[in-house]
Structure 1
Amino acid sequence: MPDNRTNNNHSLSKSLYVKGLQCHKSLWLHKNKPELKDKVSVTQQATFSTGTDVGILAQQLFPGGVLVPFEELSYEDQISMTEEAIASGKRTIYEATFRFDGIFMKADILHRGKRGWELYEVKSSTGVKDVYMDDLAIQYYVITGSGLKLNRSSLVHINNKYVRNGEIDVNELFAVADLTTDIMSMQKDVAANLKAMKKMLAGKMPDIDIGPHCSDPYECAFSGHCWQHIPKHSVFDFADIGKPDPFPLYQQGIILMKDVSREELGWRQKLQLDAMKMKKVIVEEEKVKTFLDDLWYPLCFLDFETTYMTPVPLFEGTSPNKQVPFQYSLHVVDKQGKKPRHFEFLAEPGKDPRKDFLNSLLENLPADGCIVAWNQNFEISRLKELGAQFPRKQKKIAALIEHFRDLMTPFKKKDIYHRDFDGSYSIKAVLPALIPDLSYKGMPVSNGEEASIAWLSLWGETDKRKVQETRQQLLDYCCLDTLAMVKILEVMRNLTTTRA
């Protein structure tokens, strides 16, 4: 059927209202220049999908409701269906639809309780945030303005203390925060905010410069457009402890790092500034040698991939957003000069991977090896969690933990620094700077979040070709994580021996 939804430039939704609170310019661009938006990343899309899934699951808190669909109906039909559901005595409506004062909105859950209608907004986070209250406030404004009295306005969020025991218990998984009093007190502000937004939308694009609001409370979809005038090596590129607040500098007209007074910088930022003028690696040789002297053979370069952003626990005994290891890569160098042996594990999707993961790791990891990781606390934390789950393996795990050495440490301490690190000590920054032939750039899976998304995407996937392709992408990515450490360690040794 043809879509007769309104394209009125002044019409808003609850999400656009929240965007307008963050930045009028962003709202104006959304309405007038949507083609300037940044491309939605894989991680952002996964966040949206997770939010949708959590919202659907929360409907089980009030089972038996009627759904007002979005895609199949025009705006007018959605509103009519909502009105009919209310008039016919339905107790629960999912995605109830209203329009008032130029705002079109859909409520996650509208429930008729003992004392009247109750509004529930569902979020996949684990607590109440100010921006969620703004979201509820505009909904209250539109619903009550449409003539429906609300007795209660609440936020439904994830209970981070929930532990899965069997099937998901939605009454335990979700927590409900009654925010009625706060939401009612915000109504005058809502009306004033809307008036200001409508006035702004009737004119030209507001002249609003970049600022902290560009990423608070959300990363703006127009950051690429609004920040395009900021050059490389700007004051926004200072990193680490002691860095100056870039916005006051920017507002004073100080854009480039080199124009900042050294008196305003910590020693890390001075190093970052000095490195910009040099084409070589800066090395604290004695400190790096001390680190290298603490390593022994066999060297075991280890990296884990874990689930990420899973507010609904996937496995027995896990809590919301628990990082469950499903993949590892291991490069073992038995002696200096010997070619590394590679071991890897990637769990089958759809089942708890922890037992098979641990058994495979213990089988392939030399008991007497020096285990080299990048940010070792991550791997150690996962191993401790596995030890708690499998008590019989705790002794072996505890012995392995004693053998960990963190390859990130010399880079975090700035004992080795290169201008192309840009102040970072992430392996994603260090690798291409030291070894230009190796990089994560262009890989279909190029970071841990994407690895989790890719693995979870295989759950229920029936296309064998897609499964094989995605598995190979995961194996390639995790393999590079440990190969990168092998190569970086080689560079570190060369830097200290050639200068001796």
Structure 2
Amino acid sequence: MSPSDKAAYLSKSLYARGLQCHKSLYLHKYRPDLRGEPTPELEALWKSGHEVGDLAHMLFPGGVIVPFDGLTKDEQLAKTREEIDRGTKAIYEATFSFDDVFVKADIIVRNRGCWDLYEVKSSTSVKEHHWDDVAVQYYVLSGCGLPINKAYLVHINNGYVRDGDIVPEELFVLQDITGIVKEKQASVPDELAGMRAMLRGEMPEIDIGPHCSDPYDCDFMDFCWQHVPEYSVFSLRGRGIDPWELYRQGVVKLQDVPLDSLNLMQRMQAEYYLDKKSHADPAKIREFLKKVRYPVCFLDFETFSAAIPLFDGTRPYQQVPFQYSLHRIDAEGEEARHFEYLAQPGADPRKEIAEKLLGEIPEGACVIAYSMAFEKRVLRELGESGPMLRKRLNAVTTGMIDLMEPFKRRDIYHWRMNGSYSLKSVLPVLVPGMTYEGMEISDGEMASAAYFSMETIAAPAELSRLRKALLEYCRQDTLGLVRLLEMMRAMEAEGAKG
């Protein structure tokens, strides 16, 4: 393909990329080597999107699919035309090309001599950028001579609760966006022309901005943001000054931020960084520690969520627990004992996980979590799935203590936390050696992806290695809470001496 041909050729996804940022489109075309690796979260989103798209076909059963794999683009175009001429009522992944724009429409359905266009999204609502996605398809299909009657966005109904087989008509919501899409038709040729003119020239000099993550996180951010240091204006936490306002004034490094422009919390963050300071307030730590009683349990769940509910009684994107780690200290001075659970993939784990957990948390125990709203929600939803256990599960949440609070309030703060109070930021700073770096699984998204992948792994050694990595990661979270509490007790004791 010659450079001019390469510049001319666009697709539905490239059009969306170009609307977000011309530089991103240029890099995608000519410097794909600069693209960052897809995150586990993004890969899970792609997989979910394919599953949702396939299920949406059931809204219009009996149709014919035009496959992407195994056919060239020309063969896909020919197959689509063949099905249209044959009188096929519904076509999935129908393929069209007009004005050097290639699109695959999720679903088109014949309707009284015209066609209805359906774009399927795995989101739970319609976003403005979805309109442009449908608008470019409408432009191409109309340009190919296909008369379009209506254009719809198909998205997930987050109020749907699974009961037996999935009912597509209840899982999906169809929203008519024909009027909006028609209004956008006038701007599509101009947008395409602008993108092609840009692609015929040098890489555009577009600086970073809010567009880097709106509406999607750009996969070239590592390249475009390489001039931004770890401690920068974008490190500033909270709702104080807009970091983009500072950046536009030429302020990038945290040490260059004018302190009088910051609110109290942001100023503290900047000053502590400049002076490389840390502090711990013994009185506030003592007040927090008064709430801790024995036996004390440290709890952390790992969960997955799915656009299409996997089990009866669950909703789209509900956080379903598949793993927990629990450290328990029965009396002051005793060593922490460790308990853990990791479900076998493919089966509903909720009853087993609830029963096992309740067997390991003594009645009336003090339960500590980090950012406890998450653990409380998981426990509440476990109770909804198993009414016989609801009372006992709710009792676990009563009096639950959030170990995040002292760090969120900055009763304890170290400049290396960089304004963050997440466990991943706090733990390695305050408990040296307890880092997540180098772990095969180092965050919740990776854990969820690993859990799902276990279902497809046949080799026992590989399965064993993955289970071990999952257990190690979850154990690190609750052992970290044990060590943080020990550290707080030491700080409190040191303060009492002073």
Q: Cα offset for 1:7?
A: 6.8
Residue 377 of structure 2 is matched in structure 1 by: 381
Residue 257 of structure 2 is matched in structure 1 by: 260
Q: CA separation in 1, counterparts of 2:326 and 2:189? A: 59
Secondary structure (helix, strand or coil) at the match of 1:118 reads: strand
Which among 281, 288, 292 is matched to residue 289 of structure 2? 292
Q: CA separation in 2, counterparts of 1:129 and 1:18? A: 13
TM-score of the two chains, using structure 2 as the length reference: 0.96
Residue 446 of structure 2 is matched in structure 1 by: 450
Contact 2:92–2:107 (8 Å) recurs in 1? yes
Q: Deviations over 1:73-131 (max 9, x none)?
A: 11111111111111111111111111111111111111112352111111101111111
Secondary structure (helix, strand or coil) at the match of 1:194 reads: helix
Which among 160, 163, 166 is matched to residue 162 of structure 1? 160
Q: CA separation in 2, counterparts of 1:323 and 1:345? A: 17
Residue 497 of structure 1 is matched in structure 2 by: 493
User: Mean Cα displacement is larger for which, 109-118 or 201-210?
Assistant: 109-118
Residue 467 of structure 2 is matched in structure 1 by: 471
Secondary structure (helix, strand or coil) at the match of 2:364 reads: coil
Corresponding letter in the other structure for 1:335: A
Residue 100 of structure 1 is matched in structure 2 by: 98
Q: Deviations over 1:373-418 (max 9, x none)?
A: 1011111112122222322223222322223111000001111101
Residue 57 of structure 1 is matched in structure 2 by: 55
Q: CA separation in 2, counterparts of 1:22 and 1:435? A: 41
Contact 1:369–1:403 (8 Å) recurs in 2? no
User: Mean Cα displacement is larger for which, 107-116 or 161-170?
Assistant: 107-116
- 1:396 has 2:386 as partner: no
Contact 2:152–2:176 (8 Å) recurs in 1? yes
Which among 322, 325, 347 is matched to residue 351 of structure 1? 347
Q: Cα offset for 1:70?
A: 1.4
Residue 277 of structure 1 is matched in structure 2 by: 274
Which among 191, 194, 201 is matched to residue 192 of structure 2? 194
User: Mean Cα displacement is larger for which, 156-165 or 265-274?
Assistant: 265-274
Secondary structure (helix, strand or coil) at the match of 1:277 reads: helix
Residue 483 of structure 1 is matched in structure 2 by: 479
Q: CA separation in 1, counterparts of 2:384 and 2:69? A: 46
Residue 434 of structure 1 is matched in structure 2 by: 430
Contact 1:241–1:268 (8 Å) recurs in 2? no
Runs of 5+ consecutive residues of structure 1 not aligned to the other structure: none
Q: CA separation in 1, counterparts of 2:259 and 2:321? A: 44
Q: CA separation in 1, counterparts of 2:187 and 2:253? A: 39
Q: CA separation in 2, counterparts of 1:435 and 1:7? A: 57
Q: 1:40 to 1:458 in 2, by over 3 A?
A: same
Corresponding letter in the other structure for 1:497: A
Secondary structure (helix, strand or coil) at the match of 1:200 reads: helix
Runs of 5+ consecutive residues of structure 2 not aligned to the other structure: none
Residue 409 of structure 1 is matched in structure 2 by: 405
- 1:419 has 2:415 as partner: yes
Q: How does 1:61-210 map to 2 (within 5 A)?
A: 61-210=59-208
Which among 368, 373, 378 is matched to residue 372 of structure 1? 368
Secondary structure (helix, strand or coil) at the match of 1:107 reads: strand
Secondary structure (helix, strand or coil) at the match of 2:187 reads: helix
Residue 19 of structure 1 is matched in structure 2 by: 17
- Percent identity over the alignment is 48
Q: Deviations over 1:286-318 (max 9, x none)?
A: 11111012111222111111113x110011011
Q: Deviations over 1:25-54 (max 9, x none)?
A: 111111111111111112111111111111
Aligned-pair RMSD on alpha carbons? 1.7
Q: Deviations over 1:352-377 (max 9, x none)?
A: 11110110011011113211110111
Q: CA separation in 2, counterparts of 1:197 and 1:119? A: 25
Contact 2:255–2:274 (8 Å) recurs in 1? no
Contact 2:407–2:421 (8 Å) recurs in 1? yes
Corresponding letter in the other structure for 2:65: L
TM-score of the two chains, using structure 1 as the length reference: 0.96
Q: How does 1:228-247 map to 2 (within 5 A)?
A: 228-242=226-240, 244-247=241-244
Contact 1:408–1:425 (8 Å) recurs in 2? yes
Number of residues of Structure 1 aligned to a counterpart in Structure 2: 495
Contact 1:275–1:282 (8 Å) recurs in 2? no
